[in-house]
Structure 1
């Protein structure tokens, strides 16, 4: 199986550096749409046998742009972005000031955040959700090409599931509208590229 992930285009929530998890269903902003369209011109949707997307607006719109209306888009709730609980929508700089121990050296929220955001998703539950999706894709499409349009933190965990036994802290966040590609054979995944920009 070959599986390619595309992170959705930019939203105003991204631009404002706020946490944009499963409870924040933002649309693409004008820049996000324009950039995704530019990138999509250099993307061949015909290579893919099947397309999946997060059901969130920003992902579905990005999927439609990249597939140019030529592919059926299958929505899957397992592709929802990480759920930060009550922290969804909060500004990163405010959280960093109040809870410095939950910010990693790259300025991202780390696994310790659940000490304070009690109803947030754990890394372990997130890894299980991503692993369930990846296992199903491999069972269904072992010799095919799968396209998945989703979210920055979710794609980090997908990569972490394959490469670091679910330790997402070792994987960087891709840019908006960037691509990652894995090749999976006999249950072994290899990273072909990560954070590839097409425009």
Structure 2
């Protein structure tokens, strides 16, 4: 079983690459962004709570995210998967510790954090372009985009140090054609 944390700032291409990698390696793709968008669109209690944070460019509290993700992992473990791609989770050291402990209870572990590294100005342009077609209001406002990127660096980028200390961090250039980025990611995953 391979468990990969796919990491990077908003607009780095995590969702695009996760879709390709899940097929290539037959992994389950768990995107907290997709989970939140589903709940927001369907106006569930979780969705309303999540929206109160994401509409301001802030992260949803750990307790909500942890419980949601654990339930998804449990549901998929029953199918005996080859592993998981965690996309958008963990985002904090506390979440990383919860994930590590939870996976240990399930007799598995995080094998690697693979981070897509992209310059901030490229991220802003990517997200503004995506905002033209995605219908996502958080992608249409440059001020909110810049706050999301700043929030990533304030709260999430510290995970780089966490996984480096475990010798599980791999940085990958996230700029270029999708196939070229996939090849760079695969080179790392194939060594695990």
TM-score category (smaller protein): 0.3 to 0.5
Higher helix content, 1 or 2: 2
Q: Using structure 1 for the length normalisation, give the TM-score.
A: 0.34
Higher strand content, 1 or 2: 1
